Chains A and B, each alone.
Chain A
Amino acid sequence: MIPSITELKVDADDLRVARLAAAAVGLSLADAAIPLPLPGVKPGLANIVALLVLARYGWMSAAWVSGLRVVAGSLLLGQFLAPGFFLSLAGAIFSLAALALAQYLPARWFGMVSWSLLASFAHIAGQVMLARLWLVPHDGVFRLTPVFALAALVFGVLNGLIACRLQRDFMPEK
Chain B
Amino acid sequence: MWRSFLRPGDCALIFLALLGTALSFPLLWQGGTGEKLVIRQEGALFLEVDLQTPREIRVPGPLGETRIVVEKGRARVVADPGPRQYCVRQGWISRAGEIAICAPNRVSLVIAGKNAPYDSLHY
**Interface, chain A (partner B; CB < 8 A):** 105-106, 108-114, 117-118, 121, 140, 142-143, 145-146, 149-150, 152-153, 156-157, 160-161, 164-165, 168
Residues of B within 8 A of A143 (CB): 28-29, 31
Instruction: Say what secondary structure dominates the interface of chain A.
Output: helix
Q: A-facing mask of B14-38, CB < 8 A → 1, else 0?
A: 1001101100110011010000000
Contact call B21/A161, Cβ cutoff below 8 A: no
Most chain A CB inside 10 Å of its own CB: which residue of B7, B8, B20: B7
Interface assignment of B10: CB less than 8 Å from any CB of chain A: yes
- CB of A124, distance to nearest CB on chain B (Å): 11
Closest B residue, CB atoms, query A167: B5
Q: Using C-beta atoms within 8 Å of the partner chain, give the interface range for chain B.
A: 10 to 19
Residues of A within 8 A of B5 (CB): 111-113, 160-161, 164-165, 168
Interface assignment of B13: CB less than 8 Å from any CB of chain A: yes
Instruction: Say what secondary structure dominates the interface of chain B.
Output: helix
Q: How many A-B contacts at CB < 8 Å in the complex?
A: 65
Contact call B29/A117, Cβ cutoff below 8 A: no
Cβ-defined partner of A113 (8 Å) among B6, B20, B24: B6
Residues of A within 8 A of B13 (CB): 110, 113-114, 117-118
Contact call A105/B25, Cβ cutoff below 8 A: no
- CB of B29, distance to nearest CB on chain A (Å): 7
Closest A residue, CB atoms, query B3: A161
> Could you jot down 20 A-B contacts, CB within 8 Å?
A108-B7, A109-B7, A112-B5, A113-B5, A114-B7, A114-B10, A117-B14, A117-B17, A118-B13, A143-B31, A146-B21, A146-B25, A149-B20, A153-B14, A153-B18, A153-B21, A161-B5, A164-B5, A165-B2, A165-B5
